[in-house]
C-alpha cells in the first residue's frame, strides 16, 4: 500500500509500505479521509518526543471496512466507519471505570513515543480494534467524519466543566479546538461566549461560529475587557486551548471568584501557574485529556448541522501531496486551518 511516512524529523516520504495485518479482534479499513492534526505538525520536528521516526502519522480518519478478524461481531465488511484515536485495553482499572482516555495501556494511532510505535491512517489502509469503531450516520461524508476526533476533544472539555444555563465563558485560543469548543459551549447553554486570540482572522471565524465577543490579546487588556462585559465580576468559566504561560494566566485572570478553569492546550510541558490567585479566589481547575465516549453524540451533531465542521476545512488534497501540506502548516501559512488528505 502507499503511505506517507515520517522517515526522519521534518522529512516525509510517500512510499510503498506493507499492508497491515489484522488480529482476530481487528478490522482493516480502507482510508478515505484523514485530517492533519496540530499535534502531528508539532510532532514532525521531534519537539514533542511523541513521533519518533519512522512513523505513519494520522489519527483523524474515516473509511470503509474491507476485512475483519474472526472475533469481530458487530461490524461487517463494507461498513462506513470512523474510529477513536485512542486504542484502550478495556481491562485496566480506568477502562473498567469508563475512563478509557486514561487507560493504563493507552496507545494513540499515529504516535511513537518510545515505548510503542502505532502506525496511523496517512495510508491506504489502517488496522484498528473493533472496540474503537463507530458507524457513520447516513449522509455524513468521509471528510466530515474525519473531523469527529477534534470535535470530541472539545465536547469532552465542555462536559468536564460545570456549566449553568446562561453562564459567561471565555475561550482562550481560537484555533481548531477552540473554535469547536465555542460551538460546544453554545450547545451546552452558555449565554455569552468571549473568544480570545492574537489572530484577527481566527476571531472573525469565532464570531461566525457562536462567540459574542472577540478580543485581541495583543491589543487589549483581556481580563479588564472581560470584567467590563460581565458586570465587573469576570467570566463564570474559562477554557484554555493553547497551553502556554500567557494563555493560562489570561484565562485565570478573566474568571470571577469561584469560577472554573478547564485546561485543554498542552503546547508547553510546564507553565508558570498563579497559585495564590487560584487559591485565594477559589478557582476550580480541571485537566481535560482527549475524549471519552463522546463520538456517537458528536457524529450526530455534525450530521444534523448543530456543529459546523465544514467551515473549518480549508483544503482537501491527495495523500501524495501530504509532505508539502505539512510544510505549509508547519510554517503557519495564513488562512490554513484543517487540511484533509485523501489516499
Query: Lowest-pLDDT range, 35-49, 77-91, 244-258, 294-308?
Result: 35-49
In this prediction, residue 223 has a pLDDT band, given cuts at 50, 70 and 90, of very high
Alpha carbon distance 120, 127 (integer Å) = 8
* 159-185 confidence digits (pLDDT tens): 999 999 999 999 999 999 999 999 999
Burial of 305 (0-12, 13-18, 19+ CB in 10 A): exposed
Question: What is the per-residue pLDDT for 48?
Answer: 81
In this prediction, residue 49 has a pLDDT band, given cuts at 50, 70 and 90, of confident
Residue range 219-235: average pLDDT?
Answer: 98
272 within 8 A of 251, measured Cβ to Cβ: no
- Whether 335 has a pLDDT exceeding 90, the answer reads no
Alpha carbon distance 42, 141 (integer Å) = 27
Question: What is the per-residue pLDDT for 82?
Answer: 98
- Whether 211 has a pLDDT exceeding 90, the answer reads yes
Quote the percentage of the chain above a pLDDT of 70: 100
- Whether 42 has a pLDDT exceeding 90, the answer reads no
Q: Tell whether omega for the bond before 54 is within 30 degrees of 0, i.e. cis.
A: yes
Whole-number average pLDDT of the chain: 96
| All structural domains of the chain with their residue ranges | 2-147+309-342, 152-287
What is the fold, at CATH topology level, of the domain defined by 152-287? Rossmann fold (3.40.50)
- Whether 95 has a pLDDT exceeding 90, the answer reads yes
Count other C-beta atoms under 10 Å from residue 246's C-beta. 13
- Whether 156 has a pLDDT exceeding 90, the answer reads yes
**Largest interatomic CA distance in the chain:** 62
Query: Lowest-pLDDT range, 13-17, 149-153, 246-250, 332-336?
Result: 332-336
Domain 2-147+309-342 and domain 152-287 have a common topology: no
Question: What is the per-residue pLDDT for 237?
Answer: 98
Which of 134, 139, 41 is closest to 85 using CA atoms? Answer: 134
264 within 8 A of 240, measured Cβ to Cβ: yes
Question: What is the per-residue pLDDT for 47?
Answer: 83
- Whether 16 has a pLDDT exceeding 90, the answer reads yes
Question: What is the per-residue pLDDT for 7?
Answer: 97
At the top level of CATH, the class of 2-147+309-342 is alpha beta
Question: What is the per-residue pLDDT for 268?
Answer: 82
Please list the residues that pair with 11 across neighbouring strands: 8
Alpha carbon distance 260, 204 (integer Å) = 26
- Whether 188 has a pLDDT exceeding 90, the answer reads yes
Residue range 138-161: average pLDDT?
Answer: 97
Question: What is the per-residue pLDDT for 296?
Answer: 97
Question: What is the per-residue pLDDT for 25?
Answer: 97
Walk across the sheet containing 168-172 and list its strands. 213-216, 192-197, 168-172, 235-240, 255-263, 284-287
Q: Would strands 235-240 and 168-172 be described as parallel, antiparallel, or unpaired? A: parallel
* 71-88 confidence digits (pLDDT tens): 999 999 999 999 999 999
Amino acid at each position: 500500500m502507499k503511505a506517507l511516512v515520517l522517515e526522519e524529523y521534518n522529512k516525509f516520504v510517500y512510499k510503498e509500505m506493507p499492508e497491515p495485518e489484522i488480529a482476530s479482534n481487528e478490522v482493516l479499513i480502507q482510508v478515505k479521509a484523514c485530517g492533519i492534526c496540530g499535534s502531528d505538525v508539532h510532532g514532525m520536528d521531534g519537539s514533542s518526543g511523541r513521533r519518533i521516526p519512522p512513523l505513519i502519522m494520522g489519527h483523524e480518519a474515516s473509511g470503509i471496512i474491507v476485512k475483519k478478524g474472526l472475533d469481530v461481531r458487530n461490524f461487517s465488511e463494507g461498513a462506513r466507519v470512523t474510529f477513536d484515536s485512542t486504542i484502550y485495553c478495556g481491562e485496566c482499572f480506568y477502562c473498567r471505570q469508563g475512563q478509557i482516555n486514561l487507560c493504563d495501556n493507552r496507545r494513540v494511532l499515529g504516535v511513537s513515543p518510545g515505548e510503542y510505535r502505532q502506525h496511523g491512517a496517512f495510508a491506504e489502509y489502517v488496522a484498528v480494534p473493533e472496540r474503537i469503531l463507530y458507524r457513520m450516520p447516513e449522509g455524513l461524508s468521509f471528510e466530515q467524519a474525519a473531523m469527529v476526533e477534534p470535535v470530541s476533544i472539545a465536547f469532552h472539555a465542555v462536559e468536564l466543566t460545570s456549566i449553568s444555563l446562561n453562564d459567561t465563558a471565555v475561550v482562550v485560543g481560537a484555533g481548531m479546538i477552540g473554535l469547536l469548543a465555542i460551538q460546544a459551549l453554545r450547545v451546552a447553554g452558555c449565554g455569552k461566549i468571549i473568544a480570545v486570540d492574537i489572530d484577527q482572522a481566527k476571531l472573525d471565524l469565532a464570531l461566525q461560529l457562536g462567540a459574542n465577543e472577540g478580543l485581541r490579546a495583543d491589543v487589549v487588556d483581556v481580563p479588564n475587557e472581560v470584567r467590563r462585559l460581565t458586570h465587573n465580576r469576570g467570566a463564570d468559566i474559562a477554557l484554555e486551548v493553547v497551553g502556554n504561560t500567557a494563555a493560562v494566566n489570561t484565562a485565570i485572570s478573566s474568571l470571577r471568584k469561584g469560577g472554573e478553569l478547564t485546561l485543554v492546550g498542552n503546547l508547553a510541558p510546564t507553565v508558570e501557574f498563579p497559585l495564590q490567585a487560584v487559591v485565594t479566589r477559589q478557582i476550580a481547575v480541571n485537566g481535560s485529556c482527549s475524549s471519552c465516549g463522546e463520538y456517537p453524540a458528536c457524529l450526530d451533531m455534525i450530521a444534523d448541522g448543530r456543529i459546523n465542521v465544514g467551515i473549518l476545512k480549508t483544503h482537501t488534497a491527495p495523500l501524495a501531496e501530504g509532505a508539502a501540506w505539512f510544510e505549509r502548516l508547519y510554517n503557519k501559512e495564513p488562512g490554513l486551518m484543517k487540511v484533509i488528505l485523501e489516499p
